[in-house]
């Protein structure tokens, strides 16, 4: 059975990614990051999802992205948007996926894992430079020279199964793999209990995805 490190935020995409890896029979070691995000709900969601899907281990790595700033997700002085817009959104965290993959690479080396799974998606996050195929390819090349395993010719493969899928396809795939989306939290400003605001860009994409997939939306909305 292959071993994989799976980046798991507790959101819809990364939870689907874990469900697909588990459906393939992989031994999965999940990683979440405590990076100064505004709420703890997604860290709690990641723990629930890792347990529900049978991850072999789950880690929360402390990461002081707040010292860098520059994003609505880590800097309370920048407002979370409640409408889509052009260009790179203020919810983009500079170099976030580079940092997350770098830490996953270190863990993959320690665990001797053959794969690193990341739930990036180029369709809904076209404004994020580090959610594009070019980025994944460049990180793959880096992984091949950055570690002992890579130098020896068996560096981990970076797997991004959702890269070219729309939200509805992602939801259908995850539901078919047995993921209960009620466990996941996507909202940029969820309550501590994991209730979604229903208004931010992330809530909007998620709600539209369930509708398009023809899957009942299990999201717990505040005041609903």
Contact set with its own copies (CB under 8 A): 34, 59-65, 67-70, 88, 92-99, 101-103, 105-107, 109-110, 129-130, 132, 134-135, 138-139, 141-142, 144-148, 150-151
Nearer to its own copies, 97 or 184 (CB): 97
Q: Is the dihedral of CA 204, 71, 8, 190 positive or negative?
A: negative
Nearer to its own copies, 11 or 155 (CB): 155
Count, residues in the chain: 224
Angle at 84 between CA 79 and CA 86, to 5 degrees: 100
Nearer to its own copies, 106 or 166 (CB): 106
Nearer to its own copies, 75 or 82 (CB): 75
Residue pointed to by tokens 């459906």: 23
CB of 8 to its own copies, least distance (A): 14
CB of 147 to its own copies, least distance (A): 6
Nearer to its own copies, 62 or 224 (CB): 62
Q: Rounded distance, CA 91 to CA 162, Å?
A: 20
3-state secondary structure 164-209: CCCHHHHHHHHHHCCCCHHHCCCCCCCCCCCCECCCCHHHHHHHHH
């Amino acid at each position: 059975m292959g071993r994989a490190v799976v980046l798991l935020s507790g959101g819809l995409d990364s939870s689907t990614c874990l469900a697909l890896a588990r459906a393939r029979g992989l031994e999965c070691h999940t990683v979440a990051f405590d990076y100064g995000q505004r709420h703890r709900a997604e860290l709690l969601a990641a723990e629930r999802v890792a347990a529900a899907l049978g991850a072999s281990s789950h880690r929360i790595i402390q990461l002081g992205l707040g010292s860098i700033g520059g994003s609505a997700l880590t800097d309370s002085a920048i407002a979370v948007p409640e409408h889509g817009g052009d260009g790179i959104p203020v919810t983009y965290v500079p170099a976030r996926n580079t940092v997350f993959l770098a830490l996953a690479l270190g863990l993959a080396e320690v665990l001797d894992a053959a794969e690193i799974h990341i739930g990036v998606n180029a369709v809904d996050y076209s404004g994020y430079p580090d959610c594009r195929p070019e980025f994944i390819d460049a990180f793959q090349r880096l992984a091949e020279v950055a570690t002992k395993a890579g130098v020896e010719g068996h560096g981990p493969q970076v797997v991004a199964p959702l890269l070219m899928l729309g939200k509805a396809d992602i939801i259908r795939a995850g539901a078919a793999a047995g993921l209960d989306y009620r466990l996941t939290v996507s909202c940029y400003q969820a309550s501590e209990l994991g209730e979604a605001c229903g208004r931010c860009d992330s809530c909007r994409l998620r709600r539209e995805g369930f509708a398009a997939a023809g899957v009942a939306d299990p999201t717990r909305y505040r005041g609903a």
